[in-house]
Amino acid sequence: MTIQQDILRELFVTGLTNAHAVEKQALSILTPQVERIVNYPEVADRLRLHIDETNDQIARLDEMLAGFDTSGSTLKDLGLSLSGGMAALGHSVAGDEIVKNSFANYAFEHFEIAAYKSLLTMAEDGGFASATPLLQQSLSEEQAMAQWIDESLPVVTRRYAMLYAEQGSSGAKV
């Protein structure tokens, strides 16, 4: 193995470890959201589906990391899970929680998309071809979720405005 190959391997494994922590963070953001949603059943259903996808993504990352005789970082997983939980808590007190969550989820999905694209580049450059289909599957799921949020944002926004007009801020929240 050349020095360059060693560096690519190290960067790739670090990227996989970071992605693992980010997916744990996603769970800590999405799970509390889904538990609070009442007035937006299609959002709750899609979030539940994406939580399942996220668990599958974590399993794929675990599989890739095991191929390098390593695992996710408990410290990184915990740190990002805590920050995700705090972000979810922060929005829960907002009158327009559902709208703010939609914005944050849209941004977070694009962060994950960028991470998987970067990992795919490193897999290609480092010769880690066995990781490519697993990473591509996760990337496709993140892209689909981002597209769904993008397409549903007008519906969520309009429903929020309607509920606010009918019931005030407490009835429109989630």
Write out pLDDT tens, residues 156-167.
Answer: 999 999 999 988
Q: Quick one: which H or E segment has residue 128?
A: none
18-43 pLDDT, tens per residue? 999 999 999 999 999 999 898 999 99
For residues 53 and 69, give the distance between their C-alpha atoms in angstroms, rounded to a whole number: 24
- Band the pLDDT of 14: cuts 50, 70, 90: very high
Residue 47 structural domain? 3-172
**pLDDT, average across residues 40-68:** 97
pLDDT at 88: 54
- Band the pLDDT of 46: cuts 50, 70, 90: very high
In the chain, the number of structural domains is 1
Tell me the whole-structure pTM to 2 decimals. Answer: 0.87
- Provide the strand spans (E) within the chain: none
Q: Which CATH number do you get for residue 18?
A: 1.20.1260.10
And the tokens for 118?
A: 């970067």
Residue 157: CA atoms inside 13 Å, Cβ hemisphere, count?
9
**158 alpha-carbon distance from chain centroid:** 25
